[in-house]
Structure 1
Amino acid sequence: MTDHRALAQWIAGYRRAWESNAPADILALFTEEAEYRTEPYSDPWTGHTEILAEWLSAADEPGETSFEWTTLVRDDQVAVVEATTVYALGPRYRNLWVIRLAPDGRASAFTEWWMEEPGEA
């Protein structure tokens, strides 16, 4: 069930993994056969081995970002989250996440859309 508390715990875990890049933190987010898409039409990273390798190949440095989020839609099977990511020395991104949580609170599927906000005129 994708209740608010389960979703908030998952996102807190995602931020913890984002900041630590620790394999245990990353793998704790996903079921063993989860699919992670970095864009809606991209081929997914499938399973723990591929998710971990791809995550670490694109890892941000700890403390590099701030992050705020809000739930747009949530039901028993899926949550849609809108977020803003701000890089300390770089751009701001708007994010849209679709998260399917398994009964144990890990994601079985995760898809993200991220768009850089236009610069000031």
Structure 2
Amino acid sequence: MVSLLNEPEWHNTPISPVSITRATAQKWLDAYVTAWKTYDERAIADLWSETAEWHYPFQMRTSGREKIVAEWMSERDAFVGESFDAKYHPVAVEGDRVVAHGRTVFYEPDIDHVVTAYDNIWFLRFDDSGRCSEFHEWYAGRPEDEPDRAVPEHQLSEYAQTNPWQARPQQDPALDAVTATDSRAVHPVPPYLIQVDGTCNLTNEGAP
């Protein structure tokens, strides 16, 4: 019997000789957002290697460039005409591997009122052409949209006494007073933002 606690095989995949720079990773992440917002098939296809794999938690969503493009296009009608934006940044780069963090925000049509937002972590591997060959994503909605993810208030106040810079969620003023909910969980980032410096050491620089 295979245990869910077993280490996934992809953890131990050897690092290839390919070396991705932070600038190359950022260019790919920006292209990903543009492709998602435009649903341009050529732009989508150009993101992926021929044998790329797209993983969700606990399962592979699909594999192969053609199938990934088909999956994206199957969701086109759900997003074209919607108001949303996203931004991702590489936080760790090693050889052909990148860990990225970003957020996706959905707005009311034609106005800046936030409907909901998702906090996302991605693990990516790239081939020597700069295309993604392996894509893993994890995502979470804001605590106000997914109450079961929220930290109880008494724990927040207790934690604040010893860790004031980490004790409250990073949130833009525009996200305040949002009451609507939305079930569209497409791309993610964590409700608490911990900054990571170039050496992958946790830092509280710029924390509230």
**Structure 1-normalised TM-score?**
0.89
Indicate the SS of the match to 2:65. Answer: helix
> Is the Cα–Cα contact under 8 Å of residues 35 and 109 in structure 1 kept in the other structure?
yes
Task: State the match for 1:97 in structure 2.
Answer: 122
Task: State the match for 1:26 in structure 2.
Answer: 44
Cα offset, 1:62, TM superposition: 5.6
Structure with the bigger RCO (C-alpha within 8 Å, sep 6+) is 1
Task: State the match for 2:61 in structure 1.
Answer: 44
Which ranges of structure 2 fall in alignment gaps of 5 or more residues?
1-18, 109-114, 145-177, 180-208
Cα offset, 1:16, TM superposition: 1.4
Cα offset, 1:63, TM superposition: 6.2
Task: State the match for 2:98 in structure 1.
Answer: 79
Task: State the match for 2:27 in structure 1.
Answer: 9
> Is the Cα–Cα contact under 8 Å of residues 53 and 60 in structure 2 kept in the other structure?
no
Task: State the match for 1:35 in structure 2.
Answer: 53
State percent identity of aligned pairs: 25
More displaced 10-residue stretch of structure 1: 67-76 or 46-55: 67-76
Instruction: Please identify which structure carries the higher strand content.
Output: 1
More displaced 10-residue stretch of structure 1: 61-70 or 47-56: 61-70
Displaced runs of 4 or more, over 2 A: 58-64, 68-72
Distance, in Å, in 1 between the alignment partners of 2:124 and 2:73 is 20
Distance, in Å, in 1 between the alignment partners of 2:132 and 2:101 is 17
Question: What amino acid is aligned across from residue 95 of structure 1 in structure 2?
Answer: N
Q: Give the aligned CA root-mean-square deviation in angstroms.
A: 1.7
**Structure 2-normalised TM-score?**
0.54
Which one has the largest radius of gyration? Answer: 2
Task: Check 1:62–1:112 CA distance in 2 against 1; reply closer, same or farther (3 A cut).
Answer: farther
Q: Deviations over 1:54-85 (max 9, x none)?
A: 11122322662222323221111210011111
Distance, in Å, in 2 between the alignment partners of 1:70 and 1:63 is 23
Specify which of 107, 110, 119 is matched with residue 88 of structure 1: 107
> Is the Cα–Cα contact under 8 Å of residues 26 and 89 in structure 2 kept in the other structure?
no
Distance, in Å, in 1 between the alignment partners of 2:84 and 2:134 is 24
